[in-house]
Structure 1
Amino acid sequence: MIYLDANATTPLLPEVLDAMLPWLKEGFHNPNASYQGAKEARKAIEEARGKVAALIGAQPDEIVFTGGGTESTNAALKWLARLIGRKSGRVITSAIEHSAVLKPCETFADVGYALTRVGVDGGGRLLMEDFEAACDTAKEGGGFASIMWANNETGVIQPVEEACAMARERGLAFHTDAIQTVGKIPVDVREVPVDYLSLSAHKFHGPKGVGALYIRSGARFEPLLRGGGQEKDRRSGTENTAGIVGLGKAAELAMERLSKKETPASLRNAFEAKVVGEVSGVSVNGELLHRLPGTSHLSFTGCEAAGLLILLDDLGVACSAGSACMTGKQQPSHVQKAMGFSDAKAKSSLRFGFSCLTTMEEAMAAAESVKRAVEKLRRVQGGSTGPVMVYSP
């Protein structure tokens, strides 16, 4: 199987597994106890905290470990909603957010908050004039903004630095869902001074079920989970020592790759060039100059994504039709609709995600399989095609 769904999750690196194993076996102790084994577990957790902080340019005490990206995001958003209050508070987000942002925000709207979903252009980038206008409206009564750093379906990188500056100039707190971004491109909260940032280990070769919430020093915060007071009373619950150590190791390895500028961009570009050059009626979706290096989002005229996924699976290629969280839903992706796609185009789109473990041989073999699958499906469906595109990454 050629695995090209790294936006959904990434394989656990061997070095990460090796780092975790001792804490799943002899290092099982509760890190909040007072005996030697527990103290060693606590030391391992704090070392991991430092590694995660270093990956995003934070201080260790600004990192709160959580059960994953959704928890991190919900913890930040639900606290911010409590902070501003529903009477005059305004919540600003984008039309292309992950459901971990959209669903809490919709819940806020249901109970009386003013909610603004800022649109995007045809390339999937935030409409900054509309975002600025929303911030201007919110500054009188108070509010906050949550804008993703990069989209999980298209890989399009958002103008987070500019959006953060606009919000903070107007006294609005700013959260970013950086779950698709951290570990893939440089992220530095000293250069982009967000107040809260969500990340998840399994998006950059760490384990599932563990993530972190960055909380800027001095930013107010009340916990989503209350109990024993772990994480300096910011996230109660006995710490997942092995998972946290795995997150720390994955962060350390990601820093090494980023320092060497090792990304899968060349694989992604070669894959796209072959597909677009040899298959008619293909469009590369999203702003080409502002994309994650490992994400390719393509539409195939005259094909339905559901059929292509079946054929590609038979040919040994794993990819997706969008967010893994939306698998099985029949309606077109809200991300693609926000970008102005027709229903037909949205339903003919596939997402390919490359990781540091993908090889050029796999990328080329996958492109050949895509060609075969598209040609077969078009013969079966009698689908029409467009011209072969000129591709320029």
Structure 2
Amino acid sequence: MSTTASVYLDYNATTPLDPDVLTAITDTLRDAWGNPSSSYTQGKKAKVIINESRQNMASMIGAKPSDIIFTSGGTEGNNWILDTAVKCFHDDQNAENHRKQLPHFITSNLEHDSVKLVLEHMVSAGIAECTVVAASKLSGRVEVEDVLRAVRPNTIMVTVMLANNETGVIQPVSKICSRVRSLKRHPGETPKILLHTDAAQAIGKVKVDVSDIPVDYLTIVGHKFYAPRVGAIYVRDLDKGTPLYPLLFGGGQERNFRPGTENAGMIAGLGKAAELVVRNLDAFEKHLKEVRDYLEEELVREFGDMIHINGKFKTSERLPNTCNFSFKGQGLEGHKVLNKAEHVQASVGAACHSQNRASPILLAIGIPEDIARNALRFSVGRETSKNDIDIAVRDLKKCHDELSKESN
């Protein structure tokens, strides 16, 4: 980034389109504009591109192409998977008591609203039951044993995000899944507990491989890894019976699971972004961590004990690009700092949350409210440089000094 321009540090909220992704989109819209279900040239080209993109998406997470279904984005994917679990519960004819019970979900208090609010709606509407497992204040993670203690005879799904968007703390999803899969189910209980993770924040930053993470469902969000605002879901062995119930009905596209004429241009961009992750993930991860670590070193050097880095636990891993921190003191709320900043473009946390209250995520992992209210989330990207960080820290210093004077 130019030293005279703003410094964008909100890559966890959204990423720009990679130039190769933009080229793939425009080329497809120009040359493969036909209906992918048609037999003429432009339609056939579109179909080929969609198939190639599906392969790239599968390669990115170690899956089979037949297990990938394209969606409009993460919110649709999460809603769809949770809805499938409810329908699966009621379709099970082997559990005698299901007609008298509601499906039971287990989730965490760290989830994105596209999981959290769906489950809250289901509970309030009398559609489902839900146990919200609290993350440990010692690790910022959902602990495996706490999940296991929440399992009931009518538990149908465990859904825990792969990495938190505000703190970057990586959740032990693989261990949770392995332990839940090992549970013996008894007559009258759900025969299988379905497993889901929202991998929106992890894709493109750390390795995500479904051979290592034994979930049944995984949500992918394009605009978190330099792709357009579309996405996909992974369904393990979809062609062998893992349940997926359509939300929509229509022309039969996506093998009748998600009908509607495919958005070939955006799918092409998604596939190209996945291809870039497959080719370059190690380099991406190394760069992100190097710049993020430099950011934290500079914050500590400049502000010393006036700064508190939130969610940095010795026992937990974080995404390599994410730093959540707070200035200590009155009048230093995160939104006030950002309002004064001349160069920094960042956020106080999740883009869909109010800026005027303490983050529920930070409170959930034990950050005191006065510290949480002052939080800022800086998330670096592939093009972020150490020079950008220097500009950002100088900008923060100016904001901090001005606000401190105003509050005295």
TM-score by length of 2: 0.89
Note if 1:275 corresponds to 2:295.
no
Is the 2:324–2:375 contact (alpha carbons within 8 Å) kept by the matching residues of 1?
yes
Aligned mate of 2:369, from 343, 353, 374: 343
Aligned mate of 1:134, from 133, 150, 161: 150
Matched residue, 1:148: 161
| In 2, Cα distance between equivalents of 1:308 and 1:43 | 49
Matched residue, 1:195: 216
Matched residue, 1:17: 22
Note if 1:95 corresponds to 2:124.
no
Q: What secondary structure sits across from 2:352 in the alignment?
A: helix
| In 2, Cα distance between equivalents of 1:127 and 1:372 | 40
Is the 1:90–1:143 contact (alpha carbons within 8 Å) kept by the matching residues of 2?
yes
| In 2, Cα distance between equivalents of 1:306 and 1:325 | 14
Following superposition, the deviation at residue 82 of structure 1 comes to 1.9
Following superposition, the deviation at residue 329 of structure 1 comes to 5.3
Where do 5+ consecutive residues of structure 2 fail to align? Answer: 1-5, 91-97, 184-191
| In 1, Cα distance between equivalents of 2:121 and 2:355 | 21
| In 2, Cα distance between equivalents of 1:262 and 1:246 | 24
Is the 2:335–2:355 contact (alpha carbons within 8 Å) kept by the matching residues of 1?
no
Which aligned pairs between 1:274-353 and structure 2 lie closer than 5 A?
274-279=298-303, 280-288=305-313, 289-302=316-329, 303-312=332-341, 315-326=342-353, 328=354, 330-353=356-379
RMSD: 1.5
Is the 1:257–1:263 contact (alpha carbons within 8 Å) kept by the matching residues of 2?
no
Note if 1:175 corresponds to 2:200.
no
Is the 1:270–1:364 contact (alpha carbons within 8 Å) kept by the matching residues of 2?
no
Segment drifting more, 251-260 vs 149-158: 251-260
Q: 2:208 is matched by which residue type in structure 1?
A: V
Segment drifting more, 99-108 vs 24-33: 24-33
TM-score by length of 1: 0.92
| In 1, Cα distance between equivalents of 2:322 and 2:271 | 24
Is the 1:301–1:348 contact (alpha carbons within 8 Å) kept by the matching residues of 2?
yes
Runs of 4+ with >4 A deviation: none
Q: What secondary structure sits across from 2:84 in the alignment?
A: helix
Q: 1:320 is matched by which residue type in structure 2?
A: S
Following superposition, the deviation at residue 127 of structure 1 comes to 2.7
Matched residue, 1:27: 32
Q: How many residues align?
A: 375
Matched residue, 2:187: none
Q: What secondary structure sits across from 2:150 in the alignment?
A: helix
Q: What secondary structure sits across from 1:31 in the alignment?
A: coil
Is the 2:143–2:172 contact (alpha carbons within 8 Å) kept by the matching residues of 1?
no
Matched residue, 2:186: none
Where do 5+ consecutive residues of structure 1 fail to align? Answer: 383-393
Is the 1:63–1:212 contact (alpha carbons within 8 Å) kept by the matching residues of 2?
yes
Note if 1:236 corresponds to 2:259.
yes
Is the 2:199–2:218 contact (alpha carbons within 8 Å) kept by the matching residues of 1?
yes
Percentage identity across paired residues of the two chains: 38
